[in-house]
Structure formats: C-alpha cells, structure tokens
C-alpha cells in the first residue's frame, strides 16, 4: 500500500515535479524566454505547473493534516466511515492505498522509522518492547508485518513474514514481550524474531476488532528502539 505511494511519487510524480520546477525556473528567471513566448506556451506551461502543484498538494501536503504520528508510527482515524468527508477520504487513500476497513474492524499503523526518527535498516538491530499487559488490545488478533523498501515480503530462513498473537511469542519473566527486528537471528530469542532484510524496511501493525483504548486513541504503539 504505502510502497505504491512511494513508487508513484518516485517514478511518475517525482520527474513531473522536477520538470515543473526546471520549467518554472526557466520561465521566470530566463529573460530570453520573454521574447519567444506565445500565449499557447504560457497556457501549456501554466497547466503543467498547476498539475505538478496539485500532485504535491494532495499526495504530500494533504495527508499531514489527518495522520496521527506517535512514537514514529503513523495511523489515521476515521477512514472508511460514511460522511467522513472528501478530504479525509483522499488522505486515507494516499496514506493507506487500497481498500481498508473502518476502525471498528481494523486499525493500521505503519512506520519506516525508529522511535528516534532514523530510517529502519537491516544494518541495525531493533527491538519493539510491549510492557506487560500492553500488547495491542483486540477482540480478534494483531500482527506485525515486515516489508522491504518496496513493501514486499522478505525472504528469510524461517519463512516468517510477520509475528502475531498466534506466533508463540515468548514473554519476558515480568510479562512484557520483546520483538527482535533484525537481519540475523537473535541468539536465544529466535521465537520472538521478526527477520529483516539487509536494506531498509517498513513495518505494518494491524489490529483486528481493536479494543476501546485503540478506538479512542488512548493506546500508543511503543517505539521501535535501535539496540545496535
């Protein structure tokens, strides 16, 4: 979902925006252009610049008014609900591309950064620590899914692409749960290992039939902490 936004931005919108900026700069700052202009070229270039600004406005600026970012995790409330408004609908479809459920059915969080704001990379080891009793509250199940920079599943020796409440996670003696997010298996903690690629990656947390504390925004997903 999010990878498609990145792909669109990177390969389609990006070059358009770059061309628009160069176009606009030439148009404004090159005096020689004044003498070769026609009304048609003014209009064509105006439309191109306006179109580029539209993409910037909708794909880069608009979602920022609606997303909630806590501990590096991005989520959005109100998606899919009737009457939520045309702007929120567009923002939801930019952030979570593709069909998604209403919050009462499922909540989604995504991140490409650790809690300190650094890009997640397989060059480092990370830990996601859920304090005792602080696993995502739900009436169905939750899962934490790994995706590479293109949001594709990451091949790994144990064929594990996500961890969830059904993965047999081993809690710590105090009842808390650590999830080890790293490229190589954590010695002694393999059961709680979510294999990461060697390059950059993103994470998705999904909670189905989320509990009330999720729905009212009280529940905060803990940050991803870089440990090495």
In the complex with another protein, the residue whose CB is nearer, 43 or 132, is 43
Asked if 7 interacts with another protein (CB under 8 A), we say no
Please tell me whether residue 117 binds another protein under the rule CB under 8 A: no
Reported as type and span, the H/E element at residue 23 is helix 14-29
Residue list 145-174, contact with another protein (CB under 8 A): none
**What span, in angstroms and rounded, lies between the C-alpha atoms of 27 and 9?**
24
Q: What track of x and - describes contact with another protein for positions 65 through 104 (by CB under 8 A)?
A: ---------------------xx-xx-xxx--xxx-----
Q: In what order do the strands lie in the sheet with 68-70?
A: 68-70, 73-75, 106-111, 201-210, 138-148, 162-164
Beta bridge partners, 121, equal 200
Closest contact distance (angstroms) between CB of 17 and another protein is: 13
Q: Report helix, strand or coil for 139.
A: strand
Give the one residue of 6, 27, 118, 124 binding another protein; rule: CB under 8 A: 27
Q: Are 20 and 14 in contact (CB under 8 A)?
A: no
Which residues contribute to the site for another protein (CB under 8 A)?
4, 27-28, 31, 34-35, 37, 39, 42-43, 45-47, 49-51, 53-55, 57-58, 62, 86-87, 89-90, 92-94, 97-99
């Amino acid at each position: 979902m999010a990878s498609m936004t990145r792909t669109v931005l990177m390969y389609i919108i990006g070059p358009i925006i770059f061309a628009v900026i160069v176009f606009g700069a030439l148009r404004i700052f090159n005096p020689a252009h004044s003498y070769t202009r026609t009304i048609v070229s003014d209009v064509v270039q105006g439309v191109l610049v306006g179109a580029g600004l539209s993409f910037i406005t909708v794909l880069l600026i608009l979602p920022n008014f609606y997303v909630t970012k806590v501990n590096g995790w991005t989520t959005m409330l109100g998606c899919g609900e009737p009457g939520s408004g045309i702007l929120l609908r567009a923002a939801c479809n930019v952030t979570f591309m593709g069909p998604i459920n209403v919050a009462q059915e499922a909540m989604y969080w995504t991140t490409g950064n650790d809690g300190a704001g650094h890009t997640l990379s397989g060059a480092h080891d990370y830990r996601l620590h859920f304090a005792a009793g602080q696993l995502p509250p739900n009436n169905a199940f939750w899962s934490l899914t790994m995706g590479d920079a293109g949001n594709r599943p990451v091949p790994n020796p144990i064929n594990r692409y996500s961890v969830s409440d059904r993965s047999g996670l081993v809690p710590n003696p105090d009842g808390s749960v650590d999830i080890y997010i790293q490229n190589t298996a954590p010695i002694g903690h393999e059961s709680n290992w979510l294999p990461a690629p060697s390059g950059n990656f993103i994470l998705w947390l999904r909670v189905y039939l989320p509990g009330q504390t999720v729905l009212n925004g009280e529940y905060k997903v803990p940050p991803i902490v870089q440990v090495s």
